């Protein structure tokens, strides 16, 4: 089914290109692949500007053209035939030269009067099957994803097999706009960005910082319960560390370089923590009796992401990880993974997101992308499959999704809109410990190389927050809400001091409380509190301040509740303790 929908969407990308070339004859088409939930096609429109206002016109032409598309006809081409066919398109010619150099067969596919360089993968009856499509947006994209190349115009669209699926998807997109974490983050005053600081470098306000710290505290508590110990490492390191680990060869272009005025050492901002933690392990001799050794650290790493790929908190240049590394013997792998799986289930059970597991393996067709012995990889992949079965995980296997040094279990969380996101990840690594030569002495006095397990519960806290803010639409549970209770004095003149005294009492009980001191009507204050998504709002006047029952407004609930102050304090203290 996945291939079928990809073929459908790839066919729709052809249809988009055909309509664009009829409406904009001087446009140069480049590539148009299917992607998750849709497709795109990149064009060079020259001096002509195409915006989202033009999408309806293009869509209409697509609907007219598809009536005459009965199929896709394949044509095998020689290099010269292909170059002649696309003689006026430098982008296609670049691809033709590249494909020819590696001996790839050149093919084109024709439907109606439109022909495009393509390796195939289409629907069989486009005039019948390409009925449920929609163009979505226009964006900029560099040719081949390289900022040194020309900026092209990317047109995104989507296509489904049925009208209802398209309707459901478009509804989900509208809901997603309302839940956009960038929009909610601004409304709730959680984080901001500054041009003076730089793109991809978020700044968290007191409320946003509190949210981060509450989540991180919970993550640390769960790990400390099973024996993890905190460590600390610096933010810069010698380049040599990552050359030894293998990261430099793979990701050297994504690292920030640091220049020293005192030493000739080549330094970098750390892009990951695992090589540092290995150096802590390697600082003394280890026995099998010491293992497993478990380190945890919440720290920020830095990656020089492309400017065009940065997006709110979803893709940033400073990535804060609730990172962990375990060094263990081979026969301890099952036990350690069992602990990690329990932690994942508990954390996401409280968070309120359903999980399934992706067993991420290496791609056997591209062994050059990975480091380490093939037999070790096979062994590691068999181990995580056995673990998934033993713990009755809802899992599926995915070739090509492994880290370059080892397979992993990627836990995928489903949000309120049905979207799936990668979150927690325990990764099994037989490779890096060997590259660094770290050892332990077994019971026979022989030196052995430990197994390393990399684990992150949230992964990137910034990215996790982007997912979680959209999942909850900013309606955080009481234990996480930056403001748990808001007190609204009926009269600022008469009741403000009493409201402040009540707030102080709540603070002493460990509750995060604020007083709305604005000289506004109670009605306006209540509307503002709803926008700020405060869990509990207390309207206090003479009666409430003199000891009578409190009037409690509960978020998302129309009817107010009344209860004694002592009962209210007991209620919310219990909810906070139980992480409700």
pLDDT tens-digit readout, 200-216: 999 999 999 999 999 99
| Six-digit token string for 409 | 């279990």
Task: Return d(Cα 232, Cα 276) in angstroms, integer.
Answer: 9
Residue finishing a domain among 103, 131, 165: 165
- Are residues 490 and 468 both part of a single domain? no
Spell out the residues 6+ positions from residue 43 whose beta carbon is closer than 8 angstroms to its own.
Answer: 17, 20, 24, 27, 28, 29, 30, 50, 152, 153, 154, 155
User: Is 262 contained in some domain?
Assistant: no
- Are residues 81 and 230 both part of a single domain? no
Residue finishing a domain among 137, 165, 193: 165
- Are residues 462 and 489 both part of a single domain? no
Q: Considering its fold, how many domains does the chain have in total? A: 3
pLDDT tens-digit readout, 164-185: 999 999 999 999 999 999 999 9
* CATH, residue 332: 3.30.930.10
Regions in the chain scoring below 50 on pLDDT: 1
Task: Return d(Cα 73, Cα 169) in angstroms, integer.
Answer: 31
User: Is 248 contained in some domain?
Assistant: no
CB 496 within 8 A of CB 514: no
What is the pLDDT, as a whole number, of residue 268? 92
Determine the straight-line distance between the first and last CA of the chain, rounded to whole angstroms: 40
CB 322 within 8 A of CB 463: no
User: Is 196 contained in some domain?
Assistant: no
Residue finishing a domain among 112, 135, 165: 165
| Six-digit token string for 14 | 């052809």
- Are residues 423 and 328 both part of a single domain? yes
- Are residues 111 and 84 both part of a single domain? yes
User: Is 519 contained in some domain?
Assistant: yes
Kindly list the catalytic residues. 274, 303, 321, 323, 325, 408, 454
The neighbouring-strand residues paired with 355 are: 413
- Are residues 142 and 280 both part of a single domain? no
- Are residues 135 and 230 both part of a single domain? no
User: Percentage of residues in the chain with pLDDT exceeding 70?
Assistant: 99
- Are residues 216 and 149 both part of a single domain? no
Report residue 540: phi and psi, to 5°.
-120, 130
User: Is 478 contained in some domain?
Assistant: no
What is the pLDDT, as a whole number, of residue 1? 39
- Are residues 292 and 429 both part of a single domain? yes
- The answer for 510, left when phi > 0, alpha when psi is -120 to 50, beta otherwise, is left
- Are residues 456 and 527 both part of a single domain? no
- Domain ranges, residue 405: 208-236+269-472
Task: Return d(Cα 6, Cα 387) in angstroms, integer.
Answer: 32
- Are residues 499 and 428 both part of a single domain? no
- Are residues 443 and 319 both part of a single domain? yes
CB 388 within 8 A of CB 357: yes
User: Is the N-terminal amide bond of 410 cis, ω within 30° of 0?
Assistant: no
* CATH, residue 517: 3.40.50.800
Run of H or E including 486: strand 485-489
What is the pLDDT, as a whole number, of residue 3? 60
């Amino acid at each position: 089914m996945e291939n079928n929908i990809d073929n459908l969407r790839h066919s729709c990308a052809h249809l988009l290109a055909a309509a664009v070339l009829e409406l904009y004859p001087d446009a140069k088409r480049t590539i148009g692949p299917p992607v998750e939930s849709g497709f795109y096609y990149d064009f060079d429109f020259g001096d002509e500007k195409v915006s989202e206002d033009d999408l309806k016109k293009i869509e209409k032409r697509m609907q007219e053209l598809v009536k005459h598309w009965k199929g896709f006809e394949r044509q095998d081409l020689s290099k010269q035939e292909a170059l002649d066919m696309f003689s006026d398109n430098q982008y296609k010619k670049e691809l033709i030269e590249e494909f020819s150099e590696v001996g790839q067969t050149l093919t084109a596919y024709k439907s109606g009067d439109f022909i495009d360089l393509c390796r195939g993968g289409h629907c069989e009856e486009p005039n019948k099957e390409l009925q449920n499509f929609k163009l979505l947006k226009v964006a900029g994209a560099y040719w081949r994803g390289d900022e040194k190349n020309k900026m092209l115009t990317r047109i995104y669209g989507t296509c489904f097999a049925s009208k209802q699926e398209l309707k459901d998807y478009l509804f989900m997109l509208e809901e997603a706009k309302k839940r956009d974490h960038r929009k909610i983050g601004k409304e709730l005053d959680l984080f901001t960005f500054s041009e003076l600081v730089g793109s991809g470098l978020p700044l968290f306000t007191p409320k946003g910082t509190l949210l981060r710290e509450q989540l991180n505290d919970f993550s640390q508590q769960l790990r400390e319960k099973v024996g993890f110990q905190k460590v600390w490492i610096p933010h810069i390191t010698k380049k040599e560390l990552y050359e030894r680990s293998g990261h430099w060869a793979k990701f050297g272009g994504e690292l920030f370089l640091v220049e020293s005025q005192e030493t000739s050492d080549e330094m970098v901002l750390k892009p990951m923590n695992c090589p540092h933690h290995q150096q802590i392990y390697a600082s003394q001799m280890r026995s099998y009796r010491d293992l497993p050794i478990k380190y945890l650290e919440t720290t920020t790493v830095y990656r020089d992401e492309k400017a065009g790929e940065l997006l709110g908190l979803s893709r940033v240049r400073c990535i804060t990880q609730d990172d962990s590394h375990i060094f263990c013997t081979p026969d301890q792998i099952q036990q350690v993974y069992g602990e990690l799986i329990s932690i994942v289930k508990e954390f996401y059970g409280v968070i309120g997101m359903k999980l399934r597991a992706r067993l991420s393996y290496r791609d056997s067709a591209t062994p050059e992308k990975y480091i380490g012995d093939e037999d070790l990889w096979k062994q590691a992949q068999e181990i995580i499959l056995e673990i998934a079965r033993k713990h009755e995980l809802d899992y599926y296997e995915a070739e090509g999704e492994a880290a370059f040094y080892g397979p992993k279990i990627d836990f995928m969380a489903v949000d309120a809109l049905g979207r799936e996101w990668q979150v927690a990840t325990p990764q099994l690594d037989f490779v890096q410990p060997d590259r660094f030569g770290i050892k332990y002495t077994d019971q026979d006095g022989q030196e052995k190389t430990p197994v390393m397990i990399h684990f992150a519960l949230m992964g990137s806290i910034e990215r996790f927050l982007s997912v979680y803010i959209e999942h909850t639409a900013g309606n955080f549970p009481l234990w996480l809400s930056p403001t748990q209770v808001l007190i609204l004095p009926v009269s600022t003149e008469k009741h403000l001091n009493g409201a402040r005294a009540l707030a102080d009492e709540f603070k002493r009980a460990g509750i995060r409380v604020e007083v709305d001191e604005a000289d506004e009507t109670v009605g306006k204050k209540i509307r503002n509190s709803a926008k700020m998504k405060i869990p509990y709002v207390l309207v206090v006047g003479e009666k409430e301040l003199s000891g009578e029952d409190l009037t409690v407004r509960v978020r998302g609930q129309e009817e107010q509740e009344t209860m004694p102050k002592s009962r209210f304090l007991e209620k919310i203290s219990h909810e906070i303790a139980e992480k409700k």
